[in-house]
Amino acid sequence: MKKWLFIAPLGLMFACGDGEMKEEPLVLETSEDKIGYILGALNAGSILGSGDKMKELDKEELIAGFNQNLNADDCSECDDVLKQLFGPYYQDFDTTYLKQGSKCLGRKTSFSFYADMIRMGGEKRINLDMVKAGFKHGMY
């Protein structure tokens, strides 16, 4: 029964995706794998669910940025790039900064996630590789 609690939401979440996955299915063996995968997918879902413009972001760059900054490395240089993409009050959308802005949004998302995870003492309770996999699958 516990397995269905993980499988059913994932199935519903990915049934509406607009891309195709061309990878071998992941095997989520441990609770650390399952929790990591779900948290990664939820992070992707929160970005894509933030408005119609978010669906225009470069998914590959978002994923690359997320994977790059799933650590404690500072990414404050992304603040200026995000302001260029979304405007000073985050109400505009300048597509000339789409590629850089997408990567920076991925970096800021993973940096915040990682900081929260460390603050709550969860770094040993999740598999970071599965967080990355869940985020990638959540984007598609």
Domain ranges of the chain: 30-139
- Give the Cα separation of 114 and 102 in Å (integer): 18
**Mean pLDDT confidence for 130-138:** 97
Residue 1 scores a pLDDT above 50: no
Taking 60 as the threshold, does the pLDDT of residue 34 lie above it? yes
Rounded distance between C-alpha atoms, residue 84 and residue 130, angstroms = 31
* Lookup: tokens for 103: 């990567």
Which pLDDT score, from 0 to 100, does residue 42 have? 97
Structure tokens at 36: 């990591």
Ramachandran region, residue 98 (left: φ > 0; alpha: ψ -120 to 50; beta: rest): alpha
pLDDT in tens, 102-119: 999 999 999 999 999 999
Residue count of the chain, please give it: 140
Reported as a single tens digit per residue, the pLDDT across 84-96 is 999 988 888 999 9
First to last CA, the chain: 27
